[in-house]
Amino acid sequence: MARARRSLKVVVGLTAVLVSVGSASGQELEPRAYSPSPSGTTFVVVSATRSGGGVFTDASAPLTDVDAEVGILGLAAGHTFPLFGKSAMVLGVVPVTWGQATGQIGEDRREASRRGLADPRVRLSVILSGSPPVSAEAFAVRKRGPIVGASLTVVMPIGQYDSTKLVNLGSNRWSFKPEIGISVPAGRWTFDGYAGVWWFTDNDSYFPGASHRHQDAVVAIQGHVSYTLGRRAWIAANATWYAGGEMRVNGMKAADPYRNSRLGATWAMPLGTRQSLKVAYSAGAATRVGANFKTISGAWQIVIF
Q: Please say if the pLDDT value at position 250 is more than 60.
A: yes
- Any idea what DSSP says for residue 17? -
What count of other Cβ atoms lies within 10 Å of the Cβ of residue 281? 15
Q: Is the pLDDT of residue 290 over 60?
A: no
Give the span between the Cα atoms of 300 and 43, in whole angstroms.
11
Q: How many CB atoms sit inside 10 A of residue 163's CB?
A: 15
**Residue range 74-89: mean pLDDT, rounded:** 95
User: Would you call 25 helix, strand, or coil by DSSP?
Assistant: coil
Among residues 99, 101, 100, which one has the least CA distance to residue 73?
Answer: 99
Q: How far apart are CA 22 and CA 56, in angstroms?
A: 11
Average of per-residue pLDDT across 93-118: 83
Supply the pLDDT for residue 143. 83
Of the chain, the percentage scoring pLDDT greater than 70 comes to: 84
With 50 as the cut, is the pLDDT of residue 9 above it? no
**Which pLDDT value is given to residue 3?**
46
pLDDT digits (tens, 9 = 90+) for 27-44: 678 999 998 889 999 999
Residue 113 has pLDDT above 90, yes or no: no
Domains of the chain in sequence order = 2-303 (2.40.160.40)
The mean predicted confidence, pLDDT, of the chain is 85
Per-residue confidence band for 177, with pLDDT thresholds at 50, 70 and 90: very high
| Sheet containing 252-255: order of strands | 203-206, 211-215, 247-249, 252-255
Contacts of 220 (CB under 8 A, 6+ apart): 25, 26, 28, 177, 179, 194, 195, 196, 197, 198, 240, 241, 242
Segment 178-193 shows an average pLDDT of: 96
**Spatial CA neighbour of 295 closest among 144, 84, 71:** 71
Q: At 285, is the pLDDT very low, low, confident or very high (cuts 50, 70, 90)?
A: confident
Look at 304 and 225; give whichever has higher pLDDT: 225
Q: CB burial class (10 A; 0-12, 13-18, 19+) of residue 248?
A: middle
Q: Could you tell me which residues come within 8 angstroms of residue 154 by beta carbon, excluding any fewer than 6 positions away? A: 121, 122, 123, 174, 175, 176
